[in-house]
Amino acid sequence: MKADIHPEYRFVVFKDIQNGFEFLTRSTIASKETTTYEGQEYPSITMEISSESHPFYTGTQKLMDTEGRVEKYYQKYGFQRTAEAAGEEPEAEAETAEA
């Protein structure tokens, strides 16, 4: 390896600002801030989101209500949605099926 061309690879503490979760890893990222982690002082990087606060990893991910969005679109632009397009049985067939 050539000398003096590689960034410094050192321990850095990453802190999630949403829940205060901190973890220590190695990185080449530069930081002027420092923090104390387990009795030693390390450079510190703050993050808006990490695996401890991300909805996918925490299990709080919400599914999108696509049906509600489609209905809003139809109401907004005045379209009439047919029963077949909505995935329902047409009314005439539903009545004969009940009898």
- Kindly list the distances between the CA atom of residue 89 and the CA atoms of 8, 35, 66, 86, 99, in Å, as whole numbers in the listed order: 67, 63, 20, 9, 15
Pair (21, 45) in one structural domain: yes
Backbone φ, ψ for residue 63 (5° rounding)? -85, 145
Are 45 and 77 in the same domain? no
pLDDT score at 27: 95
Domain match, 29 and 1 both: yes
**38 and 83 share a domain?**
no
Range of the domain at 46: 1-59
Are 44 and 11 within one domain?
yes
* Domain identity same for 15 and 43: yes
Confidence bin at 99 (pLDDT 50/70/90): low
Whether residue 45 is found in the same domain as residue 2: yes
**Whether residue 71 is found in the same domain as residue 39:** no
Is this prediction's pTM over 0.75?
Answer: no
Verify that 2 and 50 share a domain, yes or no. Answer: yes
With beta carbons less than 8 A apart as the criterion, state whether 23 and 51 touch.
no
Q: What are 28-76's pLDDT values in tens digits?
A: 999 999 999 999 999 999 998 887 877 676 777 665 666 677 778 888 8
SS3 content of the chain, % helix, strand, coil (to 5): 25, 25, 50
